[in-house]
Structure 1
Amino acid sequence: MKKSTQILIVFLILLGFSCGPESSETIDYTALSDEERLTIAQELARNTIMVDGHVDLPYRMKVGGFTLQREILDVSERTEGGNFDYPRSKEGGLDAPFMSIYIPARYQEMGGAKALADSLILMTKRLADTWPDKFGMAYSPEDIQANFEAGKISLPMGMENGAPIGDDLDNLAYFHERGIRYITLTHGKDNLIGDSSYDTTYIHGGLSEFGVEVVKEMNRLGIMVDISHVSDDTFYDVMEVSQVPVIASHSSARHFTPGFERNMGDEMIQRLAENGGVIMINFGGSFVDQDFREGNDAVREHIVNWLAENQLSRNDPEAQEYISEYVAANNPFPSVQKVADHFDHIMAMVGIDHLGFGSDFDGVGDTLPTGLKDVSMYPNLIAELLKRGYSKEDIEKVCYKNLFRVWQAVEEYAANAG
Structure 2
Amino acid sequence: MKKLIYFTALAAASVACAPAEQTVDYTQMSDEERLKAATEIAQSNIMVDGHVDLPYRMKVGGFTLQREVLDVSVRTPDGNFDFPRSKEGGLDAPFMSIYIPAGNQKNPGASKALADSLISMTERLATTFPDKFAMAYSPADIEANFAKGLISLPMGMENGAGIEDDLANVKYFQQRGIRYITLTHGTDNLIGDASYDTTGTHGGLSEFGEKVVAEMNRVGIMVDLSHVSDNTFRDALAITKVPVIASHSSVRKFTPGFERNMSDELIQAMAKNGGVMMINFGGSFIDSAYAAGSSKVREHLVNYMAENGLSRGDSAFKAYASEYTAANNPFPTVQRVADHIDHVVALVGVDYVGLGSDFDGVGDSLPTGLKDVSMYPNLIAELLKRGYSKEDIEKICYKNVFRVWKAVEDYAAAQS
Which of 212, 215, 218 in structure 1 is aligned with 2:216? 218
Query: What is the rounded CA distance, in whole Å, between the counterparts of 1:305 and 1:270 in structure 2?
Result: 46
Cα deviation 1:56-86 (Å, max 9, x = unaligned): 0000011111121111011110001000000
C-alpha displacement at 1:391, in angstroms? 0.2
Provide closer, same or farther for how the CA distance between residues 381 and 223 of structure 1 changes in structure 2, counting only shifts above 3 A. same
Give the alignment of 1:251-290 within 5 angstroms.
Answer: 251-290=249-288
Provide closer, same or farther for how the CA distance between residues 308 and 56 of structure 1 changes in structure 2, counting only shifts above 3 A. farther
Aligned residues: 402
1:88 correspondence with 2:123: no
Q: Match of 1:281, as an amino acid?
A: I
Query: What is the rounded CA distance, in whole Å, between the counterparts of 1:379 and 1:304 in structure 2?
Result: 35
Structure 2 equivalent of residue 34 of structure 1: 31
Secondary structure (helix, strand or coil) at the match of 1:136 reads strand
Structure 2 equivalent of residue 370 of structure 1: 368
Q: Is the 8 A contact 2:8 2:24 kept in 1?
A: no
C-alpha displacement at 1:301, in angstroms? 4.6
Q: Percent identity?
A: 72
C-alpha displacement at 1:13, in angstroms? 5.0
Structure 2 equivalent of residue 71 of structure 1: 68
1:113 correspondence with 2:128: no
Query: What is the rounded CA distance, in whole Å, between the counterparts of 1:166 and 1:132 in structure 2?
Result: 33
Cα deviation 1:257-303 (Å, max 9, x = unaligned): 10111110011000000000000000111111111123233444554
Q: Is the 8 A contact 2:190 2:206 kept in 1?
A: yes
Query: What is the rounded CA distance, in whole Å, between the counterparts of 1:211 and 1:297 in structure 2?
Result: 37
Which of 172, 192, 196 in structure 1 is aligned with 2:170? 172
Query: What is the rounded CA distance, in whole Å, between the counterparts of 1:187 and 1:139 in structure 2?
Result: 23
Q: Is the 8 A contact 1:13 1:24 kept in 2?
A: no
Which of 175, 187, 190 in structure 2 is aligned with 1:189? 187
- RMSD, aligned α-carbons: 1.9
C-alpha displacement at 1:15, in angstroms? 5.6
Structure 2 equivalent of residue 8 of structure 1: none
Provide closer, same or farther for how the CA distance between residues 313 and 389 of structure 1 changes in structure 2, counting only shifts above 3 A. same
Which of 199, 205, 224 in structure 2 is aligned with 1:201? 199
Q: Is the 8 A contact 2:9 2:23 kept in 1?
A: no
TM-score computed with the length of structure 1 as normaliser: 0.92
1 or 2, which has the higher helix percentage?
1
Provide closer, same or farther for how the CA distance between residues 179 and 306 of structure 1 changes in structure 2, counting only shifts above 3 A. farther
C-alpha displacement at 1:311, in angstroms? 6.1
Q: Is the 8 A contact 1:107 1:113 kept in 2?
A: yes
C-alpha displacement at 1:211, in angstroms? 0.5
Q: Is the 8 A contact 1:188 1:198 kept in 2?
A: yes
C-alpha displacement at 1:314, in angstroms? 3.6
C-alpha displacement at 1:320, in angstroms? 2.5
Structure 2 equivalent of residue 102 of structure 1: 99
Provide closer, same or farther for how the CA distance between residues 318 and 15 of structure 1 changes in structure 2, counting only shifts above 3 A. farther
Query: What is the rounded CA distance, in whole Å, between the counterparts of 2:8 and 2:74 in structure 1?
Result: 29
1:323 correspondence with 2:312: no
Give the alignment of 1:324-363 within 5 angstroms.
Answer: 324-363=322-361
C-alpha displacement at 1:29, in angstroms? 1.4
Query: What is the rounded CA distance, in whole Å, between the counterparts of 2:238 and 2:55 in structure 1?
Result: 32
Instruction: List 4+ stretches of structure 1 deviating above 4 A.
Output: 12-16, 22-26, 301-313
Structure 1, gaps ≥5 residues long: 1-11, 17-21
Give the alignment of 1:385-400 within 5 angstroms.
Answer: 385-400=383-398
Provide closer, same or farther for how the CA distance between residues 200 and 330 of structure 1 changes in structure 2, counting only shifts above 3 A. farther
Query: What is the rounded CA distance, in whole Å, between the counterparts of 2:145 and 2:248 in structure 1?
Result: 23
TM-score computed with the length of structure 2 as normaliser: 0.93
